Amino acid sequence: MGKITGFKEIARRDSSYAPVGERIRHYREFVIPLPEEQLREQGARCMDCGIPYCHNGCPVNNLIPDWNDLVYDGNWRAALDALHATNNFPEFTGRICPAPCEASCTLNITDNPVTIKNIECAIIDRGWEEGWIEPKISQRRTGKRVAVVGSGPAGLACAQQLARVGHAVTLYERNARLGGLLRYGIPDFKLEKHLIDRRLSQMLAEGVEFRSNVEVGVTISVDEVLSDHDAVVLTGGSEVPRDMETTPGRELDGVHFAMDFLTQQNRRVAEEHIGDNRPILAGGKHVVVIGGGDTGSDCVGTSIRQGAASVTQIEIMPKPPEAENKALTWPNWPMKLRTSSSHLEGAERDWSISTRAFKGDGGRVTSIELIRNQWETGADGRMSMVEVPGTEFEIKADLVLLAMGFLHPRHDGAVDGCGVEKDARGNVLANEEDYRTSREGVFAAGDMRRGQSLVVWAIREGRQAARAVDTYLMGESSLPG
C-alpha cells in the first residue's frame, strides 16, 4: 500500500494558517488546506504498518492506513466510505481533534508523523463538496423508541447510529440549537457552525426527531421521557467547571467561567440571543486566562478577536518539555508543550503559577495576585506543590477567565431525576461494555460517563452506546462497536 519508500522521500507538510493580522479580524476558520497533489503525496508517507498503532491511537479506531493509501491513489470516494465506517463526523474531528493518531504513528518515533488529521479533513470536505454524503435511511422500522438526552458529539453519534438501524430516536437539547459543546463551546474560528447544521439535516432525513429548548428534568419530567421510550441514553456532557471558591476576590465582577464567555461569543456570531446574562467582553481589557488547556486557548483566541488590550494565560503546572522522550511516550499521547494557533496570535504564557487572590476596585476585578510554585517530594515520598516564598507578583486583570477543566456532569435535572448511581468523581456510573447505568433501560455515554474528554472519545462512546442500546432492545446488533 502507499508508496513503500514514501516516508523516506517525502517530508511532512502541514496545512497552513492565514496571517495573524488577517484572521483575528473575524471568527471564520483560517486553515489553508494543502493542494490536492501535495496532500496525496502526504498520504504516500504512510507505511501501511504491519501493526498499525494509529488504529488504537485513534479512539474511534479509524482505518487510517486504508484511507491514506486511497487518497494517495486518488480514490476519494472509497476513502470517504472507509472513513465513515468508523467515524460519524470526520468534519469535526478533522478540524478540532488533537490527533492522538499522529502521536501513535510509527513515523513519529524517529521522524514526523503522517498528516493524518489533514487527510481526514480533506476526505470529508471533498465528500460534502461532491455531494457524496447522503442520508442513510433505514429500510426497516423496529418500532422501538429511544431518547437521547444531550446533543453534543456523543448524543449526535448515538442518535445517528440508532436511527440508521431503524429505531425512532428523539434527541433532547436544552439549548436553542443542537450540537452541545461543538455549537456553544468551540469557537467558530475553529469549527464553523454550518458544518453542524449540514449534519443535522442528514440526521433529520434519517428520521431523528430533534427537541431543542427542552431540558429533561426541568421542562419535561424524567418520568415522562422514561415512560415514552424503550431506552434513554444520557449524553449531557461534563458541564460543572472547576472553581476557585476559596480564593479571595472570586466574587468580584469580571471573574467568569471560560464557558460562559465562549458561549456568549458563539451566540453572537450565530446572531442568537445571549440570554439574560450580562455581556462578558474582552475588548480593551487586560485579560487573564487561568488554565493552560484547550478551553483556555479558545479563550485566548476569542479575547484577541474581541480586541483585548493584553492576554495572559497562566498554568499551575510546570512548563512541559518542548519535545517528548519518544522512547518513553510512543505510541501514547505525550505530555509536551503545545502551542495552538491562538497562542500565536499574541498571548503571554507562563507556568508554575498559583493564584493567591483577585483584587478589585468598586466590586470589579482590577488585578490578580500570583505566586510561583514548585513541586517538592515530601517526607512520605509523595510529590506536592509548594509556593516559593518571595515570588509573589501582581498583574493587571480586567477580565479573568477560569478555564481549569470540568469536574463532572450537572447532577440536577436528568441525572438525579433518573436516580442513576454515580462514580467517585461524580460521573454517571456505567461501563464501556454495555454502557448501562444502575437504572434499567437508562444508558450513559460521553463525558457524562467518562468525564471531560475529547470530541473523538465522545463520538466513540456514542457509537458504542448505540450498539449497546440496540443489543438491549433487539437482542443482537449489527452496529459496529
Partner 1 sequence: MIHDLKNVNPEARVSVKLVSELGVGTVAAGVAKAHADHVTISGFEGGTGASPITSIQHAGSPWEIGLAETHETLVRNRLRGRIAVQVDGGFRTGRDVVIGALLGADEFGIATAALVSAGCIMMRKCHLNTCPVGVATQDPELRKLFTGQPEHVINFFTFLAEEVRELMASMGFRRFDDMIGRRDHLDTRSVIEHWKARNLDLSRILHSITPGPGVAIRQCEDQDHGLDKALDNMLIEKAAPALESGTPVRIETPVANTNRTVGAMLSGRIAKKYGHAGLPDGTIHVKFKGSAGQSFGAFAAKGVTLELEGGGNDYVGKGLSGGRLIIYPAKAGNFAPERNIVVGNTVLYGGIEGECYFRGVAGERFAVRNSGVNAVVEGVGDHGCEYMTGGVVVVLGQTGRNFAAGMSGGIAYVLDEHGDFEERCNRSMVDLEHFDENGPTSGGDVMADMTRDDARRLRFMIEKHAEYTGSDLARRILDLWDHYLPMFVKVFPTDYRRALEELKAASAHGTLEGATVAAGE
Contacting residues toward partner 1, per CB under 8 A: 4-5, 7-8, 47, 49-51, 53, 106-107, 109-110, 327
- Min CB(4)–partner 1 separation in Å: 5
In terms of CB distance, is 56 or 339 closer to partner 1? 56
In terms of CB distance, is 49 or 395 closer to partner 1? 49
The Cα 348–Cα 67 span in angstroms is: 39
In terms of CB distance, is 391 or 471 closer to partner 1? 471
60, 459 Cβ separation under 8 angstroms? yes
Q: Are strands 168-172 and 145-149 parallel, antiparallel or unpaired?
A: parallel
Which of 237, 235, 242, 233 minimizes the C-alpha distance to 184?
A: 237
CA triple 13-16-22, angle to 5 deg: 170
- Min CB(323)–partner 1 separation in Å: 16
- Min CB(222)–partner 1 separation in Å: 36
- Min CB(48)–partner 1 separation in Å: 9
Residue whose cell numbers read 455531494: 131
Supply 4's cell numbers: 513503500
- Min CB(111)–partner 1 separation in Å: 8
- Min CB(107)–partner 1 separation in Å: 7
In terms of CB distance, is 104 or 265 closer to partner 1? 104
Q: What is the DSSP track for 120-148?
A: HHHHHHHHHHHT-------SS----EEEE
179, 152 Cβ separation under 8 angstroms? yes
In terms of CB distance, is 72 or 457 closer to partner 1? 72
In terms of CB distance, is 113 or 187 closer to partner 1? 113
Residue 440 CB contacts under 8 Å (≥ 6 apart), including other chains: none
- Min CB(439)–partner 1 separation in Å: 27
In terms of CB distance, is 69 or 91 closer to partner 1? 69
182, 152 Cβ separation under 8 angstroms? yes
Supply 82's cell numbers: 472507509
The Cα 263–Cα 1 span in angstroms is: 44
Residue 41 CB contacts under 8 Å (≥ 6 apart), including other chains: 6, 10, 13, 72
Q: Are strands 310-314 and 348-350 parallel, antiparallel or unpaired?
A: parallel
